[in-house]
Amino acid sequence: MYYRNFQQPSTHDISKVLKLVVEVVRFESITELTFDYLKVIAPTKEDERFLQIMLDDEREHFEVLKKIYFTLTGQYPSGDPPTFEVPASYLQGINDLFVQKLEIIAIYKRIRKSSPFAAIREKIAELIEDELRHLPMLNHILINSYVEERVYDFRELPSQFPTTFS
């Protein structure tokens, strides 16, 4: 792998990376809008705090991706602004974000695999780490939101262990 840093990158590799960067920029911008909306309607302060952390990361990702695009082309990405659709409910929005995160990670992995430059691969690895850190936060929000809807009670389950241990 080390020798790849000294090879002249092919235009095919760069164009593939550019297409993927544009695709993930659109995903990230929609994700940022969704986080911002959900943060406003969050039912608890804890949810709001988690969403703010993820929102800050998304804004940072957007800037990093713009810099990568600028580094490869000499111009900033342009295109149609994303269309934001209001989720049907708070929990539906969180669930949709969870699925989007999985899709974004897959795109980041393809960018990392396709990139001929070690610096870009390193930056993308950092973005993947952030996205992987977001998944447990979203999962935590989903689990805590469904606590009231649980119909089972652990106290009614028979215990496998005796009340006293010898």
Judge contact between 89 and 34, C-beta under 8 A.
no
User: Model confidence over 95-126: pLDDT tens digits?
Assistant: 999 999 999 999 999 999 999 899 999 999 99
> Cα 70 vs. chain centroid, distance in angstroms?
22
Judge contact between 25 and 77, C-beta under 8 A.
yes
User: Model confidence over 68-92: pLDDT tens digits?
Assistant: 999 999 998 877 777 889 999 999 9
- pLDDT in the model for residue 81: 72
- Alpha helix stretches (DSSP H) within the chain: 11-41, 45-73, 90-114, 118-145
- pLDDT in the model for residue 148: 60
At residue 144 the predicted structure's pLDDT band, cuts being 50, 70 and 90, is confident
How many C-beta neighbours within 10 Å does residue 94 have? 23
- pLDDT in the model for residue 166: 46
Among the residue ranges 6-15, 56-65, 97-106, 108-117, the one predicted with the least confidence is 6-15
Q: What percent of the chain has pLDDT over 90?
A: 59
Judge contact between 24 and 65, C-beta under 8 A.
yes
Cα–Cα distance for residue pair 138/125, rounded to 1 Å:
20
Task: State the burial class of residue 77 (Cβ atoms within 10 Å of its Cβ: 0-12, 13-18, 19+).
Answer: middle
Cα–Cα distance for residue pair 102/105, rounded to 1 Å:
5
Judge contact between 58 and 32, C-beta under 8 A.
yes
Mean pLDDT of the chain: 85
Give Cα separations from 6 to 89, 118, 153 (angstroms).
51, 10, 62
Let me know if domain 10-145 sits in CATH 2.160.20.60: no
- pLDDT in the model for residue 79: 72
Rounded to two decimals, what is the model's pTM? 0.79
Asked whether the predicted pLDDT for residue 149 surpasses 70, the reply is no
Measured distance between the N- and C-terminal CA atoms of the chain, rounded to whole angstroms:
58
